[in-house]
A and B are shown apart, each in its own frame.
Chain A
Amino acid sequence: MSRFLFTFIILFLIWLGFTTSLATSELITGAVISLIITSFVYKTFTDYGMKFFSPMRVAYIIQYLIVFLIALIKANLDVARRVVDPKLPINPGIVKYDTKLKSRTAKVILANSITLTPGTLTVDIIDDALYIHWIDVTSKDPDVIYREIGESFEKILRKIFQ
């Protein structure tokens, strides 16, 4: 039930965003369509449900978005610097990154965030190991890899998804 409500709220918010209108007919159409889609997908849409909207979690999600946005801008400046440099300063390789996260959703978000942060691209997830293409491999030491690639994300994600 809680998962059903969660899916419905998310879908309805997306509808509101796209129509940007509070006319009754729009709201009713949106609610009906959201209900139909929700009844099909709510089992696979989320593992968590309504407890996701607790104030603590929302605060952590906002904190995560800020950390992520800064990392995204840094990543772009980093790529721009490497691309423009005539010497092309890269030392690419694929490294194994062990995550401590347990939840499936958290792993997917971590993998996506890693792809969008400086110099790293997630190639595959196998169990607890993320295989990451790193454009400038500075070290093969697992601790250094953990610290350099994903520690800042993982700390917040663990608070959101525990």
Chain B
Amino acid sequence: MILETIGYIIISIGAIFLFLGAFGIFRMPDIYSRMQAGTKATTLGAMGVVFGVGLVQPEWFWKTFIIVLFIAISNPISSHALARGSYKIGIKPFTKKEGLDDLDGVYEAEEEK
């Protein structure tokens, strides 16, 4: 009973973070900042929802535990791939000041080597 209540609370927290992630994708100015909001909020959100389900249904606990581990490993990798791909096709990050883009010219220099 107590475990079930805790499970539902964790699911709710996860859902709130998933909502904030979607809201962040809506508000941020460029793809990299959107990815920031997307990755972090959806990782904790999805982990919370899945883990909460594991607490509500204790016989699923270890399954959900492994799914949570896989989410924690795979989510940052996918966002890294998206960010790197975006940069490689030439999308420049949104910056408020000049000179805040250290990756500028790095790939061109790599190719010349």
Residues of A within 8 A of B (CB): 14, 16-18, 20, 72-73, 75-76, 79-80, 82-84, 88, 90-96, 111-113, 115-116, 119-124, 126, 131, 133, 135, 137, 140
With A92-B30, A123-B32, A137-B100 as contacts: A73 and B44 at CB distance below 8 Å: yes
Q: Is the CB of A126 within 8 A of B110?
A: yes
Give the Cβ gap from B15 to chain A, nearest Cβ, in Å.
Answer: 13
- Residues in A whose Cβ lies below 8 Å from that of B87: 123-124
**Which residues of B lie under 8 Å from residue A84 when comparing CB positions?**
20, 23
**Known contacts A80-B17, A112-B76, A133-B83; A94 and B65 CB within 8 A of each other:** no
Cβ contact of A76, chosen from B17, B63, B100, cutoff 8 A: B17
Q: How far is the CA of A137 from the CA of B101 in the complex (A)?
A: 11
Partner of B66, one of A14, A82, A88, A94: A14
A–B complex contacts, Cβ < 8 Å, 26 sampled: A17-B62, A17-B65, A18-B62, A18-B63, A79-B21, A79-B41, A80-B17, A80-B20, A83-B27, A83-B37, A90-B33, A92-B29, A92-B100, A93-B97, A93-B101, A94-B93, A94-B101, A94-B102, A94-B104, A96-B102, A111-B80, A115-B39, A116-B76, A122-B80, A123-B84, A135-B33
Cβ-neighbour of A121 out of B35, B60, B61, B73 (below 8 A): B35
What residues on B are CB-neighbors of A82 within 8 Å? 24, 37
Return chain A residues, CB-CB under 8 Å to B75. 116
Cβ contact of A93, chosen from B65, B76, B93, cutoff 8 A? B93
Q: Which residue of B lies closest to A78 (CB)?
A: B40
Residues in A with CB closer than 8 Å to B37 are 79, 82-83
Q: Which of A14, A73, A124 has the most CB of B within 10 A?
A: A124
Whether A76 pairs with B101 at a CB distance below 8 angstroms is no
Q: Which residue of chain A lies nearest to B26 when distances are taken between CB atoms in the complex?
A: A83
